[in-house]
Amino acid sequence: MATYYLEPSRTFSEFLLIPNLTTKECTPTNVSLKTPLVKFRQGEKPAISLNIPFSSAVMQAVSDHGMAIALARCGGISFIFGSQSIEEEAEMIRKVKGYKAGFVISRSNLTPDHTLQDVLNLKEKTGHSTVAITEDGTASGRLLGIVTSRDYRISRDPLTKTVREFMTPFSAVIYGQSGITLSEANNLIWEHKLNCLPIINERQCLEYLVFRKDYDAHKENPLELLDGNKSYIVGAGINSKDYTDRVPALVEAGVDVLVIDSSDGYSEWQRETIQYVKANFDVKIGAGNVVDREGFLYLVESGADFVKVGIGGGSICITREQKGIGRGQASAVMEVVEARDQYFKETGIYVPICSDGGIVHDYHITLALAMGADFVMMGRYFARFDESPTRKLRVGNNFVKEFWGEGSNRARNWQRYDTGGKSSLLFEEGVDSYVPYAGSLQENLDKTIGKIKSTMCNCGATSIEELQRVARITVVSSTSLVEGGAHDVILKESSLSEE
């Protein structure tokens, strides 16, 4: 006979937090959102923590290198989508790891034999007024000089004048040596009143430029998620089919953490994938998705460093309709958290849980954390921003961004849904859609984080760990849901509801 779960499967919208005493110390500035990403032993520290509990979904429409850099700058992590060729995915990882906060690879370069006309053409094309002059005109050639708009006068100088005649020659250029830290570079910039400092190696070849304005931007991001070499931390999605080829390439490219991306992770395929990675590499690996204690324990006993929870709750996901499998996201998180806490009591090993999919309102994030998730993964949320890799289009009077599921015909990510068999998508488990364009990631994240911190203060918690301990959560009836929104008033047009 089948096993029945007679408690209904619940979503986040069916719960609310009940405030606790807010002490005077409990202010948003005192709240830390630091959270573990990978498992650790009691009394020890996790090898990787996030500074904010946000990860962006392993999806073509969400997580490329651009999103990964932008999110790591704010303290979270992206998992670069795996539904692309191994080489393309590794290249995206390399781009993130090669990106040094504040250090940029010069994008405007010429040789001394070019002319003033070439400088002006380049300036018009790139918008940059600083041009690096290198022996071969490349971004990594031997540095021979620098040209800025202070080096020429368009009204006096002939356009045919060669760069060598008016550039600031290398002998007069102030530069930094390879390996210099950003704050040392900044000291030189201030000492010599520069706008731009070239960084060269021992062969005088150009490596980076450091701009005064980029240093300022860096200073504004104290939560940046950096590794020991001051590169941004980045994750990557893998599947349980081509991992023996994909994982070595991603590790070689410098990936910090992997996640097996699957709609149903309670499988022997995942166990084999985790065991292969653990036996051959020193890289962290998360697994999922699961929705119950059995699935969680199976993956943890297979060696997973974190476990992702959620089936069928994603905004673009139609798995529940197509196949009749899944579980309300809140119910899934609550059961897996209970199993995780028991596992921790028995073994002293804490396994972080990621609540993946189904976040619609910002308060759903706070609820997921209060229920015991350590971080959330979101697709729709991030797809709305400038930094997502999809097209921004105008539909009627509104701007939208494209957003499609990994199980849609557009993504053709059959590996994510495969249960053994043909190498193709037999039917769709996701849709192709639009989401309202919402502007920049930083701006939106600031607002969301502001709400989470404020709610945590209402609950009397200044850390996620404390929130998980002290939270009081109530189920809401469908009639009290109506009471929660604006009701029984005539809304003015300006009172557009916010996320």
- Which range touches ligand RVP (CB under 6 A), out of 97-105, 116-124, 399-407, 476-484? 399-407
319 is a site residue for ligand RVP (CB under 6 A): yes
Starting at the edge strand found earlier in the chain, the sheet holding 131-134 runs: 109-110, 131-134, 143-147, 168-169
Tell which positions 346-375 bind ligand RVP, by CB under 6 A. 356-359
Token couple for 339? 């199993």
Number of shown-chain residues binding ligand RVP (CB under 6 A): 23
What is the rounded distance in angstroms from the CA atom of residue 271 to the CA atom of residue 188? 52
Nearer Cβ to ligand RVP (253/259): 259
Out of 46, 141, 430, 460, the residue judged to bind ligand RVP by CB under 6 A:
430
Among candidate residues 196, 416, 457, 459, the one labeled active-site is 416
How far from 209 is each of 99, 429, 431, CA to CA, in Å?
12, 46, 43
Tell which positions 288-317 bind ligand RVP, by CB under 6 A. 310, 314-317
57 is a site residue for ligand RVP (CB under 6 A): yes
Within its chain, how far is the Cα of 303 from the centroid? 24
Q: Which residue is nearest to ligand RVP (CB)?
A: 430
Among candidate residues 26, 74, 196, 317, the one labeled active-site is 317
What is the rounded distance in angstroms from the CA atom of residue 308 to the CA atom of residue 203? 47
Neighbours of 75 (CB within 10 A): 24
Within its chain, how far is the Cα of 462 from the centroid? 24
Nearer Cβ to ligand RVP (109/262): 262
405 is a site residue for ligand RVP (CB under 6 A): yes
Active site residue 196: no
Neighbours of 150 (CB within 10 A): 9
Active site residue 73: no
Nearer Cβ to ligand RVP (102/312): 312
- Which range touches ligand RVP (CB under 6 A), out of 9-17, 90-98, 231-239, 403-411? 403-411
Nearest to 263 by CA among 321, 308, 294, 297: 308
- Tell which phi-psi region holds residue 193, choosing left (phi > 0), alpha (psi between -120 and 50) or beta: left
- Taken as a whole, the chain contains a residue count of 499
406 is a site residue for ligand RVP (CB under 6 A): yes
Nearer Cβ to ligand RVP (315/390): 315
SS3 state of residue 232: strand
Q: Which residues are tagged catalytic?
A: 317, 416
Q: Which stretches of the chain bind ligand RVP, using CB under 6 A?
A: 57, 59, 310, 314-317, 319, 356-359, 377-381, 405-408, 429-430
